[in-house]
Structure 1
């Protein structure tokens, strides 16, 4: 028994490595904007290149784990992650850094699904499994807040490249721990991989994210934006149709016919959509509007980690006592309330008077959604579907986070770009100066610092107020989506979850489909032999 819990600790540490990279760059974005001459869309791509590739290849990672063994893929992913981290740290241009971030997402996609799949395989008793899944889900949420704090501390002492160099010693510790205490898993006989389905999913998600991020700059009515969105929807539609008709899909979309499974996956996606988008915005607010340094900005996201750590076990206990439905609904209401508090903020709002309370409500809401909904997903599946379930659970988090940064960031960009141009033109500044300030709020603040004292203060106030206007507009999206999720969960999570038929039933072959090839009982046997 003790070995299982040590294995859980090692797996959560590996999970922490790849999840921290979702947000560790956020406090470094203003520095990267100056050093790499990046505008808001460039900063969005630094964040989303990682999460987009991560999300797009998670199902592939689950399949490879089924075929070659989850521990083997876990170790390969960690070693590759460390290698690409060195490349990211050595980047000299924005393009190089974005490419390296995409490479990090590729190897993270090998690590993340393996952690949950192994946890499910070694914890077979339902109460222990619920506790283990709750700890795993809490680690994911805590990592989101640990990233800015760790990144801020590193930036206080070193260059922005340090947020990538730190991955090397962490990866080394993870490898040693996994080799020492995590049991091996037996590869399963799996079907031929669906490369066409993978291509369609990557094209669809990639074009959707690209079109949303670049929409404010190209114009929402520009043929490239409309065409990109149309092709993205078409590609994702073809992906869904293909997965319904082939014998061995990479994603068994029939899983979503299970109301509890689909609702829980959607709730997790909404929660991370709102959270990742907000952290992208608030770290810039702390530095550009409130004038904090990177470490101060990172520390002010710490309530996410503290509140998540405190309330994640509470959420699982409440879920066990009252069922996941009221807990998840309450979580969505808490998140919506936390975002609504941001709407009364201004550029002079105090951290302790307002912002910390809004962030605490968001974190509590995330804790109430993440663990219970993850448990709903796993309970709604047969043992043979554990690999598919873990991959879908992971994918919903990353897709939600990717779209959160893209959508909320683009709402902010649209409001900021148009608003700051009007405000600076009214101050009589030349078009060349206005154009620089429109690139990002940090560029606007830098323009204000270099301006003569007579107009510098006015310019800085104008830039900050327009940014806060954009922040309010973006956060309204989060308020609406999380409130709608609460209503949907209250209706759709009624009754007890019922596991659907195993993948492949009713098809021409009874062999498990795609990433669903993980057989929990066999892996437990292999791990305890």
Structure 2
């Protein structure tokens, strides 16, 4: 990336709205991104209700999540490059329309197969929407101060979406039924589709290079195989033949992708982008943060229902403190970055996140919200607010216009693959620990609590590693 946008004079990108409309456009783009992040976690609490009504076995329920994550994580890089090639606004609208239609289809599902198909379409549409929306944000805000504020809002949306998934999933399922977790996307997505064309003019394609079909095929297949292998490892074990076969397929496809890209005249992912240290470190950090937070919200929602006896509504409402402090903190992070720099802000936020996760690991089996859960929830909210904002800024800081869709695809891919990795590994750790204690004669609540504690501590280790990476390798200043 030859020149950072932060270093350029204030220039309105091709197709950008007038300056007085940029912040309204940001609100609409952030709302769409909120839906994308939300849908990765909002179904967690609704899974028991879905299984009962659609007669899905417990093993098949995980596919309600996997069917969304697989195409989302696998198609993100292709979606980003398609946006650069055919126009970010156009791909954003196509992705949003597909997401709305798939959400309506999921809410109307009368069988497990229909629901899984709709979830797959949601994931594929999200893979077009997410990188396009982030690319539009980086084009609309080119001055350093405005861009910092805009990416601060964007990062906050990513963090809030993860936390709000558990909150809204519980509230909607408890009050209206599981169908509501999908139907809620329809009116919100319709607002986005109607409003955005009035706020963002048609943009010209950022690159005229032909699409790298061999590269797109191999990287998409490789990423899908990676996520599938991690999901299979979580359910079947990491030594199961299916898991090993998927891992081997992923390694082969990704190896071929590297060979193809080195020889391509117009590669899907120019490896030169990784010469930008900020982008590389930012993506590594976001992968680790995605791994830690996805495991956190899954384990926390199950712990509250299986051990503490919360119903879906109570489990959702218990996330209000975490989500609330995250929103408040994220709004002030750009000002902190302006004073202390991205590196220090990111390291401090990750340290707080690691501390909050470790605190969750000490929560007892008879925990109460005020005495045991509120403290770590607030600490995690503060850490996540800073980590998502600073990590996103670092990941896209040097993206020029022709690579903004690629940069958006990379950071979203890092979060999704990291989330799949963290969920697969830490869920396996928790299950193994619980089973071991039950077999040795421990009571089920204590065994479950110990298993979830192992998952929380593992997530804390991931956050601490991310802090170390940022401290050692992130650019200073």
TM-score normalized by structure 2?
0.89
**Correspondence list, 1:63-462, <5 A:** 63-215=81-233, 217-417=235-435, 419-420=437-438, 422=439, 462=443
Shift of 1:492: 0.3
Match of 1:495 in 2: 476
Residues 238-284 of structure 1 show CA distances to partners (whole Å, capped at 9, x for unaligned) of 32333233222222233223322211111112112111111111111
Match of 1:516 in 2: none
1:467 pairs with 448, 455, 460, which one? 448
Shift of 1:40: 5.9
Are the equivalent residues in 1 in contact too, given 2:291–2:462 (CA < 8 A)? no
Shift of 1:481: 1.5
Distance 1:216 1:23 in 2: 17
Shift of 1:114: 1.6
Q: Quick one: structure 1 residues 83 and 216, their matched pair in 2 at CA, closer, same or farther if it must change by over 3 Å?
A: closer
Are the equivalent residues in 1 in contact too, given 2:74–2:221 (CA < 8 A)? no
1:483 pairs with 461, 464, 469, which one? 464
Two-structure CA RMSD over aligned residues (Å): 2.3
Distance 1:321 1:380 in 2: 20
**Correspondence list, 1:56-67, <5 A:** 56-67=74-85
Distance 1:416 1:207 in 2: 29
Distance 1:162 1:216 in 2: 28
The secondary structure found in structure 1 opposite 2:472 is helix
Shift of 1:357: 1.8
Shift of 1:63: 2.2
Shift of 1:418: 5.4
Shift of 1:111: 1.3
Residues 427-459 of structure 1 show CA distances to partners (whole Å, capped at 9, x for unaligned) of xxxxxxxxxxxxxxxxxxxxxxxxxxxxxxxxx
| Structure 2 runs not aligned, ≥5 long | 1-18
Distance 1:382 1:189 in 2: 11
Shift of 1:385: 2.5
Distance 1:51 1:210 in 2: 9
Q: Quick one: structure 1 residues 96 and 221, their matched pair in 2 at CA, closer, same or farther if it must change by over 3 Å?
A: same
Q: Quick one: structure 1 residues 126 and 217, their matched pair in 2 at CA, closer, same or farther if it must change by over 3 Å?
A: closer
TM-score normalized by structure 1?
0.81
Distance 2:171 2:236 in 1: 36
Distance 1:195 1:184 in 2: 25
Match of 2:41 in 1: 23
When structure 1 is superposed on structure 2, of 277-286 and 350-359 the one drifting more is 350-359
Q: Quick one: structure 1 residues 491 and 274, their matched pair in 2 at CA, closer, same or farther if it must change by over 3 Å?
A: same
Distance 1:210 1:142 in 2: 26
Residues 378-423 of structure 1 show CA distances to partners (whole Å, capped at 9, x for unaligned) of 3233343222222212222222223222222232333345555x37
Distance 1:359 1:236 in 2: 38
Q: Which runs of 4+ in 1 moved over 6 A?
A: none
Match of 1:55 in 2: 73
Are the equivalent residues in 2 in contact too, given 1:240–1:253 (CA < 8 A)? no
Distance 2:261 2:29 in 1: 31
Match of 2:7 in 1: none
Are the equivalent residues in 2 in contact too, given 1:341–1:354 (CA < 8 A)? no
Residues 98-154 of structure 1 show CA distances to partners (whole Å, capped at 9, x for unaligned) of 332121011111211121111111222221111111111111211222222222222
Distance 1:402 1:161 in 2: 24
Distance 2:140 2:237 in 1: 51
Distance 2:51 2:373 in 1: 25
The secondary structure found in structure 1 opposite 2:388 is helix
Distance 2:456 2:398 in 1: 33
Distance 1:216 1:129 in 2: 39
Asked which structure has the greater CA Rg, the reply is 1
Are the equivalent residues in 2 in contact too, given 1:52–1:399 (CA < 8 A)? no
When structure 1 is superposed on structure 2, of 376-385 and 132-141 the one drifting more is 376-385
Are the equivalent residues in 2 in contact too, given 1:283–1:297 (CA < 8 A)? yes
Q: Quick one: structure 1 residues 106 and 2, their matched pair in 2 at CA, closer, same or farther if it must change by over 3 Å?
A: same
Distance 1:285 1:195 in 2: 44
Distance 1:363 1:478 in 2: 14
Q: Quick one: structure 1 residues 41 and 260, their matched pair in 2 at CA, closer, same or farther if it must change by over 3 Å?
A: farther
Distance 1:251 1:398 in 2: 18
Q: How many residues align?
A: 459
Q: Quick one: structure 1 residues 205 and 391, their matched pair in 2 at CA, closer, same or farther if it must change by over 3 Å?
A: closer
